[in-house]
Amino acid sequence: DLKYSSIVGYVMPLTSELTGHVCKHLGLYDPPPAEKVLENLSALRSMVNPNSDFQFKTELHSIYKFMQDNMTNFRDLRDTKCFPWIWNKSEFVCPGDIVLAYPPELDLSPYIKKVPEEFLQYENLLTKFGVKKTLSDEEIGEILHGIKQRIDCRCPPHGDSTELKVSIAILEWMRKNEKHLKDSTPVPVMAQNQNFTLQPLSKTVFCDISAEGLEDLKQDNEEFYVIHEEVLPLTARWLKVPFLSTRILKPQFIQAEQEFFGIEQCGQSEPITQRIKNILKEYDEESDIFKELLQNAEDAGATMCKFLLDFRKHRDPPETLFDDGMALCNGPCLWIFNNELFSQEDWKNIVKVGSASKENKVKMIGKFGLGFNAVYHVSDIPSILSGNTLLILDPNVTHLEKHINSKGNPGIKLDPFQERLYKRFPGQFKSYEGIFDCDLSVQNSKKAYNGTLIKLPFRTLEEANNLIGQAFCFLPLSIETGLPVHINGTFAVTSNRKGLWEKGVKSEWNRALLKDAVTSAYITTLLVLKEMAQNGHIENYPFYAFWPDREKASKAFLPLVESFYSTVAENGNGKSLDLFSNGNNWCSIDKELHIPVLFLCQHGIVFKNLSAVDTHNSSVLVLNAIDLNDPAVDDLLKSYPCIPTQKCQMLQFIKRLVNPSGKVACLYELEEGRILEGTADGFLSPKRIHRLSDLGMLSDRLPLKDI
């Protein structure tokens, strides 16, 4: 019958000339055979330009609807699974080569097709015949392995820009969703002539210091690859890619009965900070520090103990230190010297907080154990040099974060007389030179220090301000929020009070509490601090000092961070929130007020949290940053993806931008997410175009690596 013309019209004769009675007896009203429907679908595939043909889409919908309504008739057609019958914008594909949807915020279109939205109404049909709803974690990981295999087959084995974009996007998605990665997972690394390839995660290194340090690893005959520069530092840390500086310090694991070669994980292994806090209550006098250190020296058998106050401030470049955090430890300090060497037992005892290591040695109660912790009254990172060993303790893991694998062992032990350590990190050893005849230079042939030298860097204002907020539910919880404030609320906590509920109704309560009441209390607190600053009760108050940092906040408190910035950006649902200041005046985000350079630079707070701000206000902030024309802000602009591009929901790095009116724009597709987007008075204004070009946007010339 003609009513089936859109289903089998190309492969079966149809008629409307016969009477209904005849048609009924001849079976013309019966549904057409499934084989003929698929045969008709094959005929549709031969159409010249199906995308522009309205009839094509109409007939395709009719066929899919018929198949979905009569799935039992098609169940035995096993060949359907390997027959390309699903339309995907430009071609028909097999059910195994397409999915209903990609994982959220992950575009995998170069490697697997997605069912067009107009055909999602046939989900039952599609899934019945083998179309997956989405990809599993394992299948997403296999895409990386597939890219690596294709690249390895080329000569030279270099990837293209699409492969790089997808590889990085997958790693970003895995980080945001806290997926498990294997050491064999391929990740983008740098190749010759600014190209890239994929190599196993276990063989990568993050270049955090001068690339000259790579020569040190080559001398050790290690196989290593530098993680690609477009992989975000945050992602590299999540991947646990070792820093180049760490690899130089520790080229191999320490073996027993060998001298220290490189760096050894070493530190106090109890719940450190809380234990030290309790110990300090017993040593609450300032003089206790000197008493304990004198007692330590005497118990060790020393005949001499000296103290030296050092008020020097060393301003060495961060790349000459073990970690950027060590810069805070290169100022005024207290030196303590005694003329006795540490024994192996002393090294063991020094990392046992309040243990019973002296219980069998009553006469040596003070020797490098419980009493030594009195030094934490004045210092957060004490260090001990004795013989050919340097021990640095960092209980808060804030100064040596790059090199400490576990907060349960917050310290490192190394041989400071290695020539390459002194060569790569001269700023770290500079303060030791000449202190009680200390000589760590390459010229020192002794390769050991005759005695014990303790360094206690005094706690700085920056360290005191860098406190980690804690959550409370009537009584303090053992939960670090990663926020610069404490939070007290009626949270739904687990029975052991060590965490918040993360699933079910109780989890929804916690999210609602954080996004509503806690956000309101947070902003109210900032408004009170603003009033105190205006009234002179607080001096030199940076208005952003207590703002949350998305990268530091723990996962459970991310809803608060997102709600906070959304509320600030939207002015508290219509209520003006005057939380911005230039040092003299206060205003809300929508007022014309020059944002201080320091605010934009402080820990990159603006750029780290752009994703939590709506598109309009994030653009306002970035445009303001561009207009500042400040070198420090320019460095941040170049370091974070912050510029909108056409046909792309994610922000782009400036060095990846393409000027839409430039000569090279014709070489790029909009779908690549590289063409600058904006308005004539926004990102596309001549002034901003010029600034972005100066910062690295492509315009009329292509760099050699892109060619």
3-state secondary structure of 455: strand
CA distance 677 to 647: 9
The answer on 285 and 227 residing in a single domain is no
- Whether 301 maps to a domain, the answer reads yes
The answer on 429 and 280 residing in a single domain is yes
The answer on 427 and 283 residing in a single domain is yes
Work out the average pLDDT over 172-181: 89
The answer on 216 and 113 residing in a single domain is no
pLDDT of 358 > 50? The answer is: no
Omega prior to 156 cis, within 30 of 0 = yes
* Residues recorded for the chain: 707
CA distance 323 to 468: 20
pLDDT of residue 186: 94
The answer on 144 and 40 residing in a single domain is no
Least confident of 227-241, 266-280, 488-502, 693-707: 266-280
Query: Which of 128, 146, 179 is the last residue before a domain boundary?
Result: 128
The answer on 363 and 224 residing in a single domain is no
CA distance 73 to 128: 13
- Whether 568 maps to a domain, the answer reads no
The answer on 403 and 276 residing in a single domain is yes
Structure confidence at residue 395 as a pLDDT band (50, 70, 90): confident
Query: Which of 404, 436, 461 is the last residue before a domain boundary?
Result: 461
Of 65-69, 207-211, 450-454, 592-596, the range with the highest mean pLDDT is 450-454
CA distance 65 to 269: 65
Least confident of 53-67, 279-293, 615-629: 279-293
Query: Which of 428, 461, 494 is the last residue before a domain boundary?
Result: 461
Tell me if 166 sits within 8 A of 110, measured CB to CB: yes
- Whether 696 maps to a domain, the answer reads yes
Count of structural domains within the chain? 4
CA-wise closest residue to 326 among 262, 249, 380: 380
Listing DSSP states for 273-288 in one string gives HHHHHHHHHHS-STHH
Domain extent for 406: 263-461
- Whether 116 maps to a domain, the answer reads yes
The answer on 211 and 122 residing in a single domain is no
Task: With residue 150 as reference, give the H or E element that holds it.
Answer: helix 137-152
User: pLDDT tens across 119-165, in order?
Assistant: 999 999 898 888 899 999 999 999 999 999 999 998 889 999 899 99
pLDDT of residue 327: 86
Task: With residue 509 as reference, give the H or E element that holds it.
Answer: helix 504-513
Give the CATH number, domain containing residue 294: 3.30.565
pLDDT of 580 > 80? The answer is: no
Least confident of 137-141, 212-216, 436-440, 516-520: 212-216
User: pLDDT tens across 402-454, in order?
Assistant: 787 666 677 888 888 888 888 888 888 899 999 999 998 878 778 899 999 99
- Whether 612 maps to a domain, the answer reads yes
Q: 98-99 and 113-114 as β-strands: parallel, antiparallel, unpaired?
A: parallel
The answer on 192 and 69 residing in a single domain is no
- Whether 396 maps to a domain, the answer reads yes
CA distance 615 to 570: 11
The answer on 141 and 280 residing in a single domain is no
Tell me if 416 sits within 8 A of 385, measured CB to CB: yes
In degrees and rounded to multiples of 5, residue 406 shows phi and psi of: -140, 135
User: pLDDT tens across 476-507, in order?
Assistant: 666 788 888 888 888 887 766 667 888 888 88
pLDDT of 363 > 50? The answer is: no
User: pLDDT tens across 663-689, in order?
Assistant: 999 988 888 889 999 998 899 998 999
The answer on 434 and 313 residing in a single domain is yes
- Whether 629 maps to a domain, the answer reads yes
- Whether 192 maps to a domain, the answer reads yes
The answer on 32 and 14 residing in a single domain is yes
pLDDT of 166 > 70? The answer is: yes
428, 434, 440, 442 alpha-carbon torsion, rounded to 10°: 110
Q: Which residues contact 483 (CB under 8 A, 6 or more apart)?
A: 468, 469, 548, 549, 552, 553, 557, 560, 561
